[in-house]
């Protein structure tokens, strides 16, 4: 699917609005400074490199992150209603982890992680609209995201580190040491990582269904715009199309604009 330039800008406004609404100073200002520095790149990033995953289109990353924030807050209410101990983390920690859980997908200061696929066969046969940038040294998404935060002076708590590190749950073998232990003293001391994982899983599944169920049913129309609205505190009004797409400089992004 494709988002319009206006939808991309609106999603970005919601993204920044969540930082303003949930993150306290001085981290709030540092986060906004960081994201505005890389605004052009992050605003147009996909959430994945191939269609079989989720949100593999320009603007897909921010839309996914906004959905994870909304799902995490809803999951927290569910866990509260079922009697979970919610005193072990704060709402700010949960939202901070949700906002930054996939930050490693941006790449580093110099290079993007996903760039447009140049092999037409892989695009047509494998659904890979993007490919991994080989100029970028390898790191897992959580490791690179945490590194980017600390290298820009943005501190995070132990709860936030653990949630970001394990947000893929047991889909990532590296998380077994945290999530598959049988000793009570080695289990996470908070349910926050589980809430974030469930939120991410829910968001990715919804995005998969939106992309693929119409194709399975022989439909060609995109989902209604209302399906990709995310609730947030104090949403910022959308601005003009020019603001969304002006002055594109980052590698590869100019090639994407024809798809918007």
Alpha carbon of residue 138 to chain centroid: 19
What backbone phi and psi angles, to 5 degrees, belong to 132?
-75, 140
Q: What percentage of residues in the chain have a pLDDT greater than 70?
A: 84
Residue 52, pLDDT score: 76
Cβ atoms of 101 and 167 closer than 8 Å: yes
* Tokens standing for residue 23: 């993150």
Mean pLDDT of 202-208: 96
Question: pLDDT tens for residues 77-112?
Answer: 999 999 999 999 999 999 999 999 999 999 999 999
Which pLDDT score is estimated for 98? 98
The reported pTM is 0.83
**Mean of per-residue pLDDT scores for the chain:** 87
Tell me the sheet residues that pair with 14.
none
SS (HEC) of 223-237? CCHHHHCCCCCCCCC
**Number of residues that this document lists for the chain:** 260
Strand partners, 116: 130
Segment 115-144 shows an average pLDDT of 90
């Amino acid at each position: 699917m494709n988002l319009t330039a206006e939808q991309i800008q609106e999603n970005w406004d919601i993204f920044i609005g969540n930082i303003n609404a949930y993150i306290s100073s001085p981290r709030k200002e540092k986060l906004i400074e960081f994201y505005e520095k890389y605004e052009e790149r992050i605003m147009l990033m996909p959430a994945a490199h191939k269609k079989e995953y989720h949100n593999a289109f320009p603007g897909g990353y921010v839309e996914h992150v906004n959905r994870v924030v909304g799902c995490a807050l809803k999951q927290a209410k569910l866990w509260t209603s079922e009697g979970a101990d919610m005193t072990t983390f704060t709402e700010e920690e949960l939202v901070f982890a949700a906002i930054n859980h996939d930050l490693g997908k941006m790449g580093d200061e110099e290079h993007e992680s996903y760039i447009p696929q140049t092999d037409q066969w892989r695009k047509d046969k494998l659904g890979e609209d993007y490919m991994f940038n080989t100029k970028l040294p390898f790191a897992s998404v959580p490791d690179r995201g945490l590194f980017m935060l600390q290298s820009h002076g943005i501190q995070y708590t132990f709860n936030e580190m653990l949630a970001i590190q394990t947000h893929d749950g047991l889909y990532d073998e590296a998380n077994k040491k945290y999530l598959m232990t049988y000793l009570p003293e080695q289990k996470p001391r908070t349910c926050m990582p589980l809430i974030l994982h469930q939120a991410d899983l829910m968001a990715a599944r919804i995005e998969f269904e939106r992309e693929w169920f119409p194709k399975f049913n022989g439909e060609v129309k995109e989902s209604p715009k209302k399906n990709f609205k995310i609730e947030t505190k104090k949403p910022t009004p959308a601005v003009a199309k020019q603001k969304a797409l002006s002055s594109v400089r980052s590698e590869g992004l100019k090639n994407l604009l024809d798809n918007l």
